[in-house]
Chains A and B, each alone.
Chain A
Amino acid sequence: MPDPIVVAEGLHKAFGGTRALRGLDLSVPRGTVCGLLGPNGAGKTTAVRILATLSDPDAGRAAVAGYDVVRDARKVRERIGLAGQYAAVDEKLTGRANLRMFGRLHHLPRREARTRADELLDRFGLADAADRRVAGYSGGMRRRLDLITCLLRRPKVLFLDEPTTGLDPRGRAEIWGAVRALVGDGTTVLLTTQYLDEADQLADDIAVIDRGRVIARGTPDELKAAIGDRLDVVLEDPSGLRPAAVVLHGLAGTDPAMTGRDRLSVPLPGGHRLADIVRELDRAGVAAADIRLRRPTLDEVFLRLTAQKESA
C-alpha cells in the first residue's frame, strides 16, 4: 500500500479479563477514508483510542503521521483530531467561545484562533448559531461543532468514532457532507461505524473488525461482492416451502433459511437475474407473493465473514 499515514501492527489490549484487541493490523493510505466496521465490542473504539494516544497498547506498535503513538504521543497529538461518540464540547458556552477556547488549547495564536473559528463556523453552516449556547443546539449541530473543534489546527489524520450514532437522518446527512468536504481538503479520515451504509457513503476502504482483529479488508463493493446478494422469497402459501427450498438450493448451492412461516432467505452468488429466478420458481409450481434480490445488510456481511472465519 503506498505511503500509509496510519499503521498498526499486532495491537493487543486487554481491560481486566476482556481482550479488546487481539493482534489488530491496520494500514491507512494518506488522503483516504478508512471505515472500521464491526459490532459493539469488536474493538473499534479501543483501536481508535490507541491511535489517538488516549490508551497504550499492551503489545504491538502503532504510528500516526510517522510518529509512534506511545513514544512520541505529543507529536502525534499535534497532527490529529479526535471526535468521539459524544459531542465533547462545553454546553454552557457558545459555539464561537468553544472554538476559540479549543483553538487556544491547540496553541494557535489568539488572532488565528479567532479567524479560524469564524472561518470554520461559516464553512460548516454554523455561522448563524455561533453566538448561541451549545445547550440549545440540535444533535446534528453539536456533532458538527464537535467535528470543527478537531479541524482548528488542520489535522493530518482525523479519527471519528461513530460520528453519527444517535443522530436523525438529517443530522447524519449533515455530518456526511462535512466529512466529504474534509476529504476534499486531503485530510485522512479513520472512522468507526456500525452502519454499512455509512461506510458505503464515506469510506474508500473498509476494515471489518471482529473480536479484536481485522477479518476482512476491501472497498465496499469488493466486500459486498465477496458476500454476494441475498434472495428473499415470500410464498403465497406455506405448502410451497418444500419445492421452493429445492429451487433455492439449486440456485444458491446452500440450504435457504426459513425467516418466517411462509418465507425463505438465501445468500446468492453474483450473476443471477431476478427474471430467471421468477421463472425457475414458476416452473416448480411455487406461487410467490414477493421476491426480492438485495444487497446484504451489515448483519449479513458480518455474520457471513465471522462464520467463514470460524470454519476456516
Chain B
Amino acid sequence: MTNKLRALLAAGTIAGTSLITGFAQAADTIKVGVLHSLSGTMAISETTLKDAMMMMIEDQNAKGGLLGKKLEAVVVDPASNWPLFAEKARELISKDKVDVVFGCWTSVSRKSVLPVFEELNSLLFYPVQYEGEESSRNVFYTGAAPNQQAIPAVDYLMSEEGGEAKRWVLLGTDYVYPRTTNKILRAYLKAKGVAEADIMENYTPFGHSDWQTIVSDVKKFASAGKKTAVVSTINGDANVPFYKELANQGVKAEDIPVVAFSVGEEELAGLDTGPLVGHLAAWNYFMSVDTPENDAFIAQWKAFIKDDKRVTNDPMEAHYIGFKMWAQAVEQAGTTDVDAVRQAMYGQEVKNLTGGVAVMNTNHHLSKPVMVGEIQPDGQLETVWETEGVVKGDAWSDYIPESAKLTADWTYPWVCGNCEKPKFAVMAE
C-alpha cells in the first residue's frame, strides 16, 4: 500500500518538476512561435500556414539568420480549441520565451489570445482576412480588412464590366466576420441606392452541409427581374458542399455570380471547378499572378512541401509579407525587443508577390492591392479586375456609425487603437 502511494507521489513530483524545469532555457537563438491548429476543424486551413512559416524560417536561416543568430521555430498545436489558444499563447511567451508569434486563423482564436499578448507585451502576426473593428498594440494584421476585400468586390459587381448587379444575396456563416462584413456591405449598398427589398441576408451554422434549400432560395430571389449577385462569407468546411450544390443546381456565374471572401486556391483544391467557372473571389493575392517573385515563391513552396500539386494562397502571402517585415524591422532595430521592433515596423515596406509594395501603417494594418478573380477549370483564380495601386487597411469601418469616428494610430500623439481624439493631444499642442 505504501509502495503504491509512494509511486503515485513520485509520479506527481516528476510531472511537477518537468513542468517547472521547462522554463529555464538559454536564449542563443531567436525564437519564433507558430500558433496554428494542426488538429481539429481548423487544421484543414492552418496546417498550411504552419508549413509556410517553417519554410520561411528555414530560408532565413539559410541566409544566415537574423542579427547573427539562427531562428528557431517553436510549433505548438492549439487543436482548434479557443481557450487552448490562449493557454498555448501564454506558454509560448512565458515558457518558451519566443520573440514573436505568427498564428491564429479564426476571429475567435485571435480574440482569445489577444489579452495574453497585451498582458505579456508580445507580438502576434495575424495573417487572415478579418472583420476589422480592432487594432491592438500587440497585433499586426497582415490579412485584409473589409475595405480591402469586400467593398472593392462589390464595386466590381456593380460596375458595367462586372455585370451591373442590382440585387444582392449576402450569405454567411453565423459568426462575427460575416456579420460584420455584411453589416458594412449593407450600409455601403444602401449608400449606393440599393433598396432594402433587394438585399437578402442569410446565416448558416459552421460546417453546414445541406445547401439545397438555400441555393433554391437564392435562385428564387434572383428570379425577380434584376441582375442578382451573391456575396459569400461562408466559412471553411461549408464551402465545398455549397459549391457542389451550386454546380449541381446549375447556377451559372453569368446568371448569378457568387463572390466569396473565404474561398481561395486551397479551398478550391478540394473541388471539381469545371462547373464553377466564372464565380468570383476577392483577395490580395492569387497564385495565378505572373510575377518573378510569385514564381519563385511557388517553386520554393512546392519544393519545400514536396508535392507538385499543392497551391499557395492569400494568407500564405500575408505571412510572407509579415515575416519579411518583421525580419527587416529586427535588423533595423538591432534587437528583437518587442517595443523596438514595433517602432521599426511602421512604414516598413515589402514587395508583394503580385507586384507593388506592401506598407505597414501605424494602425497595424497593411496597404495592399485588391484583386477580383474568376474561378478557372484548373482550380486557379484569375484576375479580372484589380485596384490601381494599393488600398490602405482600415481598422475601423467608415460605414458603421459608431466605429467611423474611431481612429487607430499607434504613433505619437495618438498612441491608441480606438480613440476619438489623440491620447497625448495636450502634450502635442
Does A associate with B in a complex? Answer: no
Measured CB to CB, the residues of B under 8 A from A are none
Residues of A whose CB lies within 8 Å of any CB of B are none
